[in-house]
């Protein structure tokens, strides 16, 4: 079976997904997808992703960050990639994959630590610390409170985090 591809030939995955981003069987309706070509300003990206994290939809927040990473300026790629890995690390916790979650959270922490001048009011110190402690706790087989899977992205309270689509 041929894989779904966009106009430039990059693979897409058009299969429906559940709340945790797991593919569903053909013909089953899932939750709305984040478009691969999503292009919104950074403040809206953060607000949208924060809203998704607050709803427990870390996989979808990952997709929002991934769109910013792929469609944004080259000098911000590390930032958005680190945030995407943080969100997918949380996704793995939600799915019960503790080992994969710890690995991704560690990678996210390393990437986010390499961003020297955090833009857009992002709390990189707090996010890096949270990712590191989560990874350590997973390695110790500690119970993870679900509230820890909804990290606050910014140093200021989030504004209107409504869906911009």
Torsion of CA 69, 9, 14, 72, to 10 degrees: 10
Domain that holds residue 82: 42-149
Tens digit of each residue's pLDDT (9 = 90 or more) over 98-135: 999 999 999 999 999 999 988 999 999 999 999 999 99
Give the CA distances from residue 129 to residues 28, 73, 83, 109, 110, in Å, rounded to whole numbers and listed in that order. Answer: 39, 26, 13, 8, 11
Q: Residue 154: what are its φ and ψ, rounded to 5°?
A: -110, 165
Torsion of CA 50, 11, 35, 92, to 10 degrees: -20
Q: Give the up-direction half-sphere exposure of residue 45: CA atoms within 13 A in the CB hemisphere.
A: 26
Tens digit of each residue's pLDDT (9 = 90 or more) over 50-87: 999 999 999 999 999 999 999 889 999 999 999 999 99
> How many domains does the structure of the chain reveal?
1
74 within some domain = yes
CATH of the domain at 111: 1.10.3450.10
For the entire predicted model, the pTM comes to 0.84
165 within some domain = no
114 within some domain = yes
88 within some domain = yes
């Amino acid at each position: 079976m041929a894989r779904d591809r966009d106009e430039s030939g990059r693979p897409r995955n058009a299969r429906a997904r559940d709340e945790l981003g797991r593919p569903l069987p053909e013909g089953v309706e899932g939750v709305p997808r984040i478009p691969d070509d999503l292009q919104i300003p950074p403040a809206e990206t953060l607000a949208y992703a924060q809203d998704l994290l607050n709803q427990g939809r870390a996989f979808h927040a990952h997709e929002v960050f991934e769109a910013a990473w792929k469609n944004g300026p080259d000098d911000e790629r590390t930032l958005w990639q680190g945030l995407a890995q943080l969100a997918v690390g949380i996704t793995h916790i939600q799915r019960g994959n503790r080992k994969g979650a710890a690995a991704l959270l560690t990678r996210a922490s390393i990437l986010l630590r390499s961003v020297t001048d955090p833009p857009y009011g992002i709390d990189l110190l707090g996010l890096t610390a949270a990712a590191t402690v989560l990874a350590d706790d997973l390695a110790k087989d500690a119970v993870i409170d679900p509230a820890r899977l909804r990290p606050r992205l910014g140093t200021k309270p989030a504004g209107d985090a409504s869906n911009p689509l």
